[in-house]
């Protein structure tokens, strides 16, 4: 994927202007960050994909893992930008072939994220992509999955970090690249 913004400084104002705040969704007291206006604007989408990929252009990335579900939206075009393969990391039971999984904690229990067992090979250089870094649980699980598969995490790139939730504390061994901190 080639974009006009590939070598430009990312237009963070454009990107941020296309993220809509929705109060009380999905529950009262929650301020949801809606990215659908960003996805609907080809210039903002191209700028976002380019900016997510930019720090990793010379990192020799073999695979990009996109975390379900909005990480798929950004992960696949980032993989194209980097000349890499794309690996979907899905909720347990959603992939059709043999998988490896990693559990992580939620406020109310646990969840598991999985990739196909043959998605990565030993020595794979992997970039993890998602839309939001919140509490860090899914990101930590993805890092562990890559390592269990014999790969090396070269980065963790997200559109926005919810800084108050301190998710980066669960990633002390991976420096998150966050376009926006909200």
Nearest C-alpha neighbor of 130 from the set 152, 153, 150, 160: 160
Q: How many residues does the chain have?
A: 182
- Spot the catalytic one: 70, 144, 147, 148: 70
Active site residue 107: yes
Degrees, nearest 5: CA angle 166-16-126:
55
Q: Which helix (H) or strand (E) holds 141?
A: helix 137-148
Map residue 120 onto helix, strand or coil. coil
- Residue 58 falls in which region: left (phi positive, over 0), alpha (psi -120 to 50) or beta: alpha
Active site residue 169: no
Q: Regarding beta strands 20-23 and 176-181, do their DSSP bridges make them parallel or antiparallel, or are they unpaired?
A: unpaired
Compute the distance between CA of residue 134 and CA of residue 171 in angstroms, rounded to an integer. Answer: 12
Give 60's strand partners: none
Query: What amino acid positions are annotated as catalytic residues?
Result: 70, 107
């Amino acid at each position: 994927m080639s974009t006009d913004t590939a070598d430009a400084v990312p237009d963070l104002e454009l990107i941020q202007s296309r993220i809509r705040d929705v109060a009380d969704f999905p529950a009262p007291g929650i301020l949801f960050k809606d990215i659908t206006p960003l996805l609907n604007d080809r210039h903002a989408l191209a700028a976002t994909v380019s900016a997510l990929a930019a720090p990793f252009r010379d990192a020799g990335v073999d695979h990009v893992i996109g975390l379900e579900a909005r990480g798929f939206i950004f992960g696949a075009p980032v993989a194209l930008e980097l000349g890499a393969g794309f690996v979907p990391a899905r909720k347990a039971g959603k992939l059709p072939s043999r998988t490896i999984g990693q559990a992580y904690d939620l406020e109310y229990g646990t969840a598991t994220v999985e990739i196909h067992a043959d998605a990565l090979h030993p020595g794979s250089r992997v970039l993890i992509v998602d839309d939001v870094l919140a509490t860090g649980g899914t990101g930590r699980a993805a890092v562990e999955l890559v390592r269990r598969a014999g790969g090396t995490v070269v980065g963790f790139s997200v559109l926005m970090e919810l800084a108050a939730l301190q998710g980066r504390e669960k990633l002390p061994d991976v420096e998150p690249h966050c376009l926006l901190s909200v």
